[in-house]
Amino acid sequence: MGNVELLMPAGNLEKLKYAVKYGADAVYLGVVDFSLRAMRKGEIITLENLKRAVDLAHELGAKAYMTLNIFAFNSDIKHLEQCLEIIKDANPDAVLVSDFGILRLLKKYMHDMEIHISTQTNILNYECVKFWQDMGAKRVVLARELSIPEIAEIKKQVPDMEIECFIHGSQCVSFSGRCLLSDYFTNGERKANSGNCSQPCRWSYKLVEETRPGQYYEINQDNRGSHILSPKDLCLVKSLKDMIDAGVDSFKVEGRTKSLYYVSAVAKTYRNAIDEILKNPEADMEKYFLELKKVGNRGYTTGFALGENKPDSYSYDISKGLAGADFLFEFRGKKVDFESGNNLYFVKVKNKVLLNDEVEIITPNEQFHSKILEIIDEKGEKLDVANTNSEVYFKLEHEPVDYEVALARTIGVKEYVS
C-alpha cells in the first residue's frame, strides 16, 4: 500500500483551514461563477480572494484544486476568458473540468496547469480514461456508479493515470449528478449544473392519478409523503482497504456547503482511518463508522461500490441530514481569569449548553469528555445556560491543547441515525 490522498471540501476560507488542520492532504474549492456549488456563508471564496485561499492551503501544507466544472454556455466562456489571468496568478495545484470548451481554453492559455476531469463527465470505463489521458489530463474523478472491482480494472488498464473516487457524503439521484429537476421546478432560476441546485430530490412527494386531479394519495404509509428520489449518504469507510488495493489515489469527501463541524469531524475520522489502514491492513473500521454517525447524514449506504445499488440506498422517510451528535460550540479564544488563575475559553455557541453539561471536545489530535464548570458572559456575569448563537466564556474540567481549532459536541450517538 502506498500513499493516498484525503481530499476535503473547502466551502469558504474558514472551512479550508479546518479541513487541513483536521487532516486533509488537499482541498477543492471554487468560485460561484464556475463551480457546481454556490456557497452563502462565511468568507466565501471569490475571484478576489482566490489567491489568498490557495496560498492559505499551501501555507498549511496542503494542495488546492480549483473547480471549473460547470457546463459552460457562450456567456460563461466569455466570462472565463476575462478571468484566466486571475486564476493563473492564484496558481492552484490543479483545475477540475467537465466542459470541453473550458478544457480547450486552459490548454491554450494555461498549458502548464494540471488538469483533473470531473465526475460530471460520467467516466465508467478504461477507454474513457485513456481518452482523457490523451487530452492531457493527469487525474480523473470516476463516476459513483462503479463498483470497486470495476475501479480496479480501470487502474490496471491505465496504471499511470491518477484515480480519484468519492468516499463519503451526499449523493445525487441523477447519473453522476447530471440533473435538470431543479431547472424545471424553479423555472430556470435554480440551475443544478450551474451551482445552485434547489435539491428537488429531497422534497416530499405524493401521488396524483391523471384522471383524478386534486386527489392526492400517499405513496406509502407516511403522512409527510415520501422522499422517493432522495438517496442516502455515501459512506465507504469500511471499504477503505479494498479501495486502496484497487488503486484509488485520492479519496474525495462531498460537502462544500456542509458545516464547519461536518468538515472537521469527517476529515479527522478519515485521516485516522486511512493512517491506521496503511499501518495495519487488517484494522477494523467499525469504530470510524460509528464516529461518522455523529455528523449529519440521511442514513448511510455503500452505493454501487459493493455491486448493484439496492432499494435501501434511498432515504424514504427523511430528506434532511440528521446528526448523531449535536454541534455545541466552537472555540474562539482564551484568557486567564486573574482572580482565580483559571483558563476561560471564549466560545461561539451553536446549540444550547447548560452549566455542568458533559460534552465531547475534539481537536485534530485530541478527543475527550469534559464538563462545563462555569459559564460567564462578556460582562463577567455567571450564567446557568449559554443559548444558541451567544458568545460566552467557559471554564472546563478538561482543557484542549490545540484550543484554537477545537470543537465541542454532545456525547454518544442518537438512536435515530441509521
- Domain check: are 234 and 134 in the same one? yes
Please report whether residue 418 resides in a domain: no
- Domain check: are 84 and 206 in the same one? no
- Domain check: are 61 and 171 in the same one? yes
Place of cell 455542568: 356
Please report whether residue 256 resides in a domain: yes
Please report whether residue 108 resides in a domain: yes
Domain boundary among 260, 286, 313: 313
Please report whether residue 318 resides in a domain: no
Please report whether residue 225 resides in a domain: no
Q: Residue 212 sits in which domain range?
A: 177-217
Please report whether residue 170 resides in a domain: yes
Please give the model's pTM, rounded to 2 decimal places: 0.87
- Domain check: are 271 and 392 in the same one? no
3-state secondary structure the chain: CCCCEEEEECCEHHHHHHHHHCCCCEEEECCHHHCCCCCCCCCECCCCCHHHHHHHHHHCCCEEEEEECCCCCHHHHHHHHHHHHHHHHHCCCEEEECCHHHHHHHHHHCCCCCEEECHHHCCCCHHHHHHHHHCCCCEEECCCCCCHHHHHHHHHHCCCCEEEEEEEECCCCCHHHCCCHHHHHCCCCCCHHHCCCCCHHHCCECEECCCCCCCEECCCCCCCCECCCCECEEECHHHHHHHHHHCCCEEEECCCCCCHHHHHHHHHHHHHHHHHHHHCCCCCCHHHHHHHCCCCECCEECCCCCCCCCHHHECCCCCCCECCCCEEEEEEEEEECCCCCCEEEEEEECCCEECCCEEEEECCCCEEEEEEEEEECCCCCEECEECCCCEEEEEECCCCCCHHHCEEECCCCCCCCC
- Domain check: are 246 and 353 in the same one? no
- Domain check: are 105 and 241 in the same one? yes
- Domain check: are 63 and 150 in the same one? yes
- Domain check: are 77 and 195 in the same one? no
- Domain check: are 11 and 143 in the same one? yes
- Domain check: are 279 and 359 in the same one? no
**Number of independent structural domains in the chain:** 3
- CATH no. for residue 43? 3.20.20.70
- CATH no. for residue 342? 2.40.30.10
pLDDT tens-digit profile, the chain (418 residues): 568 999 999 989 999 999 999 999 999 999 877 765 555 666 889 999 999 999 999 999 999 999 998 889 999 999 999 999 999 999 999 999 999 999 999 999 999 999 999 998 999 999 999 999 999 999 999 998 899 999 999 999 999 999 999 999 887 666 555 565 666 567 667 766 556 677 776 677 666 767 777 776 555 534 444 555 667 889 999 999 999 999 999 999 998 888 999 999 999 999 999 999 999 999 999 999 999 999 988 889 898 898 876 655 555 555 556 788 999 999 999 999 888 889 999 999 999 999 999 999 999 999 999 999 999 999 999 999 999 999 999 999 999 999 999 999 999 998 654 4
Domain boundary among 152, 186, 217: 217
Please report whether residue 235 resides in a domain: yes
Q: What is the pLDDT of residue 338?
A: 82
Q: What is the pLDDT of residue 224?
A: 45
- Domain check: are 196 and 78 in the same one? no
Q: What is the pLDDT of residue 169?
A: 87
**Distance of alpha carbon 147 from alpha carbon 139, whole angstroms:** 19
- Domain check: are 113 and 181 in the same one? no
Please report whether residue 224 resides in a domain: no
Q: What is the pLDDT of residue 315?
A: 55
Domain boundary among 313, 340, 358: 313
